[in-house]
Amino acid sequence: MKTKDIYQTVTNNILAAMEKGIIPWRKPFKSSFSPIPVNYSTGKVYRGINVFLLNMACLQVGYPTNAWLTFNQARLLGGNIKKGQKSEVILFWKPTLIHKQNVSQEGEIKESIKEVYIARIYNVFNIDQCEGVETGCEIQTSIPRIESCDLVYSNYPEIKPEINLGLNAMYIPRLDQIRIPVRLP
């Protein structure tokens, strides 16, 4: 993919979020959500524009954790990506050495080495989009259960929507999931 295409992809993702009313740099409530995205497999913290892109993805979808994996990393951890999940695009700047040979007017060959950085796109999935990967973290809440909500949920048809913690209260029809933010004291 050409560098201009990479920049356009990032710009399109940001504009799409803003058109949906999501302001990526503003959060309307307090939560225990970590604003620093991390690669779940390596433990490395994402940097640069990737912090912005992955936080924006968490706000759009309402992922409860800011941990990410590539497809291959999920497989190496014994899991896989849930069917129908969409990846997020991140950028990785790979250093590359360019060797140049210049011939002077006197016929001398001069070699020069220059290090340049080439933008590469990687596709990552939130840990919440994976199955079979042991997360080892438990989200605890001190919020008392609301009996009327439990009653509504118990009267759903046989196949009930999945309920997960997230950053926004929302229903995601294509996943048949309900996201509910954690309320802090």
Written as one string, the DSSP assignment of 92-103 is EEEEEEEEEEEE
Give dist(CA 178, CA 130) in Å, integer. Answer: 17
Q: In residues, how long is the chain?
A: 185
pTM of the shown model: 0.57
Structure tokens at 166: 């997230």
Q: Which amino acid, residue 108? A: E
Q: What is the pLDDT along the chain (185 residues), one digit of tens a residue?
A: 566 677 788 788 778 877 877 665 565 555 556 678 888 888 888 888 898 899 888 888 888 888 999 999 999 989 999 999 999 999 988 899 988 888 878 878 888 888 998 888 899 999 999 998 877 543 333 345 667 777 776 777 777 777 777 666 777 777 777 777 765 54
Domain range annotation of the chain? 3-181
How many degrees, rounded to 5, is the angle at CA 79 between CA 53 and CA 121? Answer: 30
HEC string of 127-161 equals HHHEECCCCCCCCCCCCCCCHHHHHHHHCCCCCCC
Rounded Cα–Cα distance for residues 38 and 51 (Å)? 9
Q: What share of the chain is helix, strand, coil (3-state, %, to 5)?
A: 25, 30, 45
Helix or strand or coil: residue 104?
Answer: coil
Beta-carbon contacts of residue 33 (< 8 Å; ≥ 6 apart): 58, 64, 65, 66, 167, 182
